[in-house]
Structure 1
C-alpha cells in the first residue's frame, strides 16, 4: 500500500485550519494605486494557467496600462525562466527541486521566494457513464504503473477486472495523464504510484484540460488531472488510501485532509532581499492575496487560502495587505 510521507500528512491535515468562505471574506479588498503601467510575464504551470489568466484579466481591468504575458508549458519551465530573467513570476504545481533552486542562487546569490497561492487536489476522471464507484491507491498503482510500488500485485488492464459488467468493460483501459514537465505528473508519480514508473501506454497530454476532454470522449478511458478542470461528460471518482472507504474530492474533504491527493499551488518570485519589488509586481501580488484574488481561486475550482496564511505569504516579499 502506498506510504504517504509524514510531511505530506502534516500538510494535508493542516488544511483544516485554512480557508473557508468566512476567512476569505475577512481578507481586505484590493486598493487601487495610481500610475501603474508595465509589462508583467509569467512562465510555468499549466495547472495554474486558468487561474493566472483570471487574475491577469482582473488586474488588467483595474490597470489598463498593464500588459500581462502568460506562458503555460509546465512547472519545469518556471525555474529556468526565472533564472534567465525572462519572466517575473513562475507558477508551479510543485515545490522547486534543490537543483533548480541552486541554479537560481548561482545566478543571483539568493534563493527565489516560494509563495503558496491556492490549494489544489489531483482528481481521477472517468467517463460520466462509467459505473465504477471509486478506486483505492493499490488499484491506481496497478492501472497506471508498470512497477507497482504502491501495493499492486498484478497489472489491471481493463474495467472488467474491477467488476464492471458492461460490454465495453472487456476493452483495455485508455490511460491519460500529463507530460513529464508537469508538476501534476511528478506529484501523481510520487504520491499515487509511490515513485514508481508509469506504464508506456499512458497518453501524455500537454495540458490538464486536454486530459479531461480526452477522458470525456471515450467510455473506457481514465485519467488524472487537477480537479479544477471538469467537463460535463467526465466524472471525478472518490478515492481511498486502501479498501473501499472512498472519499469525494470536495472542498471540505480537501481542507480536512481526508481526500488523499491534495497539494499547495505555488508562485515563485525573484525577490532581492535587499531591494523592494518593482511596484507593478508588488501590486499584482497584493491583488492575488486580497479578497478579490482569493475569491478568484474559489471561482476557478480551487481552495482559497485563509486570511492568516495569505498575510504570512505576502510578508515573505516584504508586503502587507
Structure 2
C-alpha cells in the first residue's frame, strides 16, 4: 500500500501546477484542462464489456458507458458496483474486463492476480476525489481536525486525541447541540472508501462498533440527510443539498480546508485520493480493442467532462497522458 501511496503523492504533486480550477461564489469548480484531447472515434468497436467493483465509481462508470455507447451503439456495457474489494476477484476470474477501485490494490490482491496471469494488473488513474466528512445541512459545525475524525469513528484513537468523542459539544457546538450524541455512519468492509478512510482518517486503527454500516455512498449521505445528529463519509461526487461537507485540518489548531479540487491538487485537503480502473493487460500485447477504446474515452476531454458532471475532479492533461501510457505501451 505504501508504494501506491507514494505514487498517489507523486501524481498529486504533478497536478498542483496543471489543474484548471475556477473560483466561483466561494466554491471551487473544477474545469477540464484545455490540454485534454478530444476522443477520436474509430471503427470496429463492438461487443460486451463488464465492469465489477467500486460503488464510489458506480455513477461515473454509468455516465461513461452512456457516452461511449453514443459513439458505438453496438457496444453493451454492464456495471456492478458493490465495493472495490469485488474488483480483483472479478478480474482474476475473467468475469469483468474492468475493475473500478476507489483505493489502490493491496499487495495480496496483486499477488493473487499475478498467480493467475503471470503478470501484474494495470492500474489507471481516471479521476480525483476528495473523501468528504458529511454532517446534516442544519448542523452548525464548520470544520474538524483529523484527530477529531479519528476519535469520532475509531475505538483505537491512533490519531492521538486524548478522549473518545461522542457528543457534538465535544466538537465545540453549544446550546441544544451540546449534549446531543453523534450518530455515526460509514461503509462496509467490502468498500474501498471504508479501507481508504481506515488507513488515512483512522491512522490504520479500528472502527467503533457503533458505526452504522451502509451498503453504498448514496445511503451514507441519505442517512446523514435524515438524521440531524448524523456524521458520515463518502466521495464528494455524492454530495447533495441535504448535507454539508465540513472543512478538515491535518491537526487541531491548523488551517482547515474545504474538499475542493484546488485543495486536493494542492495537497491541502487531507483526504484527497485518486480513483482507479484496473485491467488485465498482458505485457507487450495490446488490450482488446473495446477495453482500450473505453479507457481512451475515459481519459479524453469528453470523459473528463463527465467526471466534472458527476461532481468529481478531472485529471490534468499531463496526468491523463501519463495514465494512457500504462495501457498503450
TM-score range normalised by the length of the shorter chain: over 0.9
Distance in structure 2 (CA, Å) of the matches to 1:7 and 1:58: 29
Deviations 1:174-213 (A, max 9, x none): 1001111111111111111111111100011111111011
The aligned counterpart of 2:90 is 81
2:272 matches 1:262: yes
Match of 1:317, SS? Answer: helix
Cα shift at 1:13: 3.9
Cα RMSD of the aligned pairs, angstroms, is 1.7
Q: Which of 98, 108, 111 in structure 1 is aligned with 2:107? A: 98
Offset at residue 281 of structure 1 (A) = 1.0
Question: Do the aligned residues in 1 keep the contact of 2:132 with 2:271 (CA within 8 Å)?
Answer: yes
Residue 15 of structure 2 is matched in structure 1 by: 15
Superposition TM-score, scaled by structure 1 size? 0.94
Deviation at 1:6, TM superposition (A): 7.0
- SS of alignment partner, residue 69 of structure 2: helix
When structure 1 is superposed on structure 2, of 238-247 and 256-265 the one drifting more is: 238-247
* Structure 1, unaligned runs of 5 or more: none
Name the CA distance, whole Å, in 2 between partners of 1:82 and 1:54: 22
Secondary structure at the counterpart of residue 169 of structure 2: helix
Aligned length: 315
TM-score by length of 2: 0.91
> Deviation per CA, 1:208-243, whole angstroms, max 9, x where unpaired?
111011101111110011111111110000011112
Name the CA shift for 1:240/1:272 in 2 (closer, same or farther; >3 Å).
Answer: same
Q: Deviations over 1:5-53 (max 9, x none)?
A: 8776555544313432676222221121233211000000111111111
Deviation, 1:249, is 1.1
Q: Structure 1 129/141 Cα, relative in aligned 2: closer, same or farther at 3 Å?
A: same
SS at match of 2:327: coil
CA displacement 1:147-195 (0-9 Å, x = unmatched):
1000111111111222222325423211001111111111111111111
Residue number among 60, 69, 75 corresponding to 1:66 in the alignment = 75
Q: Say if 2:260 is the partner of 1:247.
A: no
Name stretches of at least 5 consecutive residues in structure 2 with no aligned partner: 22-30
